[in-house]
Amino acid sequence: MKPQETITGLYWTMPEVLLPEIPRHSVSITDFGAVEGGLADNTEAFRQAIEAVAGAGGGRVVIPAGIWLTGPLKLTSRLELHAQAGAVVRFSKRFEDYPLIASQFEGKPSIRCQSPLDAEGAEHLAITGKGVFDGGGEAWRPVKRWKMTEKQWERLRSSGGIVDEAEGMWWPTAAAMEGAGRVERLLGEGKREAADFLPCRDYLRPNLLSFRRCSRILLDGPTFQNSAAWNLHPWASEHITIRNVTVRNPWFGQNGDGLDLDSCRYAVVEGCSFDVGDDAICIKSGKDEAGRALGIPSEYISVKNCTVYHGHGGFVIGSEMSGGVRRVHVTDCTFMGTDIGLRFKSARGRGGVVEDIVIERIRMTDIAGEAISFHLFYEGVEGSGTARDERYPVTVETPVFRGISIEDVACDGAEKAFLVNGLAEMPLEGVTVRGFTAAARQGVICHHVKRLTLEDVRLYTVEGPLVKLHQSRDVELIRLGGEGGEPGGTMLSVSGDLSARIESRDPQTASSLRNVTATAGADVKAVQLS
């Protein structure tokens, strides 16, 4: 397999991402007695096929067309799992088939059920072909009532399982419903061994794919769907190529992320399709103290030519980013019907630095919330305080977002075009948005931002000013245009006593900003029109 070509970003050169080298040796699962049809348990046939390839020094395990039922698979080095067109690998829905192992989930070391596609410390690992890997997630996932119609909810209840006392959540078993409390008690007692958590197994849902500390990974061609939790989760791994894959989870799927690159470096994601129940393409690097202690940033990542049909966010950084995220290049992607388009999120307590992010040529339609958002302040949760302007001491727990360039973005339909909720003690800093056109109910709304440039931005809104700035400074508005609110209404609103040095350096922009309001301690002299 040929290596990837290098990619030059705005601040760095993307290193070569190495592909796996797999020997030509090949076996079929049918050589070891696998029976298609979806009724026979083929776990042993898969195990023997993988073992035979490993014993030969590596090679390809072929999964022919058909429906193949199996338990979780432990993948080894120099292995290519090749699912031919028409192959559907269905993973067991029996909880007892999934051993508890030490793993990672939501940014922290965790005891989890072994993933259906599981590897640790493996090198030269590939999953290819046009087949489908189905995680049987409906057996595991809790479901929130508000995400169902009444008819769907009644059908779900009648299928079995249990509903909590508030009748707001369906669980597959009582053990699953009680699992969160049991896990918390066990951790409080200092329990860390997998055997201690056996009573919680129903709750410890596996990700469909979990590769931990692996190198030279290729996912090319298959569909990965219906996971119990996240779909694809490479952790602390490097040289990762994910291309031409389809990732699917039900829109109501709890924790139904598409791809989570977590503390990974040297990765290319291209030509992929996502339709999921949570964030679609997500970059993470650990949560809070655990992430900072691990100290492995996600870096040198390229995402290009991907399409997201549904998800909480199209492309996302955070909120678990305590180890840092840097040198990420996202280009030529389309998001349709996601809750948010480009989504950056964190909170006090995380720490970590997100920087050197370049995003170009993004198209969005029918975004439910914000086309672009930076939520660094979660009101009233995760230790973020209860007042937006309240300042906390700057410590290692303070997240930093800086050095971000977003260019050539179009959005047809959103609640807000661009939203920033920064921290009073650590504003979002050094962000350039250039060539952005959006039709949205509201335009740009920024709280606590420093060194922001909006250039060639055209906004078509139905409510409020085009741009609202609160406690923001060193802001450049260059060729800002569009239509907002009532004809002749306010185009720019500035508030907060710290707002300063807000400048328009273009006559056309100065003319369009003929109406400026300053409130909540702001001085209209903070705005310079030239």
| Overall average pLDDT of the 404-416 stretch | 97
| HSE of 122, CA atoms in CB hemisphere, 13 A | 27
Predicted confidence (pLDDT) per residue in 79-99, tens digit: 999 999 999 999 999 999 999
Using the predicted structure, report yes or no on whether residue 415 has a pLDDT greater than 90: yes
Q: What is the mean pLDDT of the chain?
A: 92
Judged by average pLDDT, the poorest of 44-48, 117-121, 250-254, 484-488 is 484-488
What's the CA gap between 147 and 145, in Å, rounded?
Answer: 5
| Confidence band for 377, pLDDT divided at 50, 70 and 90 | confident
Using the predicted structure, report yes or no on whether residue 460 has a pLDDT greater than 70: yes
| Overall average pLDDT of the 18-28 stretch | 97
Cβ–Cβ < 8 Å for 364, 410 = yes
pLDDT at 383: 43
Judged by average pLDDT, the poorest of 2-16, 139-153, 215-229 is 2-16
Using the predicted structure, report yes or no on whether residue 129 has a pLDDT greater than 50: yes
Instruction: Calculate the alpha carbon distances from 8 to 15, 16, 267, 467 in Å.
Output: 9, 11, 14, 33
DSSP helix/strand/coil, 291 = helix
**Closest by alpha carbon to 303, among 269, 333, 334?**
269
The residue count for the chain: 530
- Here the tokens at position 393 are 């001491």
Predicted confidence (pLDDT) per residue in 171-226, tens digit: 999 999 999 999 999 999 999 999 999 999 999 999 999 999 999 999 999 999 99
| Confidence band for 12, pLDDT divided at 50, 70 and 90 | confident
Q: Is 507 left (phi over 0), alpha (psi -120 to 50) or beta?
A: alpha
Residue for token pair 């061994």? 193
What's the CA gap between 110 and 112, in Å, rounded?
Answer: 6
Cβ–Cβ < 8 Å for 396, 292 = yes
pLDDT at 273: 98
Angle of CA points 258, 259, 264, to nearest 5°: 165
Using the predicted structure, report yes or no on whether residue 1 has a pLDDT greater than 50: no
pLDDT at 388: 75
**Closest by alpha carbon to 43, among 123, 116, 103, 105?**
116
pLDDT at 504: 83
What's the CA gap between 519 and 391, in Å, rounded?
Answer: 20
The pTM of the full predicted model, rounded to 2 decimals, is 0.94
**Closest by alpha carbon to 22, among 1, 4, 42, 38?**
1
| Overall average pLDDT of the 242-260 stretch | 95
Using the predicted structure, report yes or no on whether residue 516 has a pLDDT greater than 80: no
In angstroms, the first-to-last Cα distance of the chain is 56
What's the CA gap between 158 and 137, in Å, rounded?
Answer: 18
Using the predicted structure, report yes or no on whether residue 521 has a pLDDT greater than 90: no
Cβ–Cβ < 8 Å for 244, 273 = no
| Confidence band for 514, pLDDT divided at 50, 70 and 90 | low
pLDDT at 524: 58
| HSE of 476, CA atoms in CB hemisphere, 13 A | 15
pLDDT at 528: 75
Dihedral of alpha carbons 179, 183, 189, 194, sign? positive
For the annotated catalytic residues, the residue numbers are: 278, 312
- Here the tokens at position 284 are 């993470």
What's the CA gap between 117 and 108, in Å, rounded?
Answer: 20
pLDDT at 527: 77
pLDDT at 491: 82
| Confidence band for 132, pLDDT divided at 50, 70 and 90 | very high
User: Residue 314: what residue type?
Assistant: G
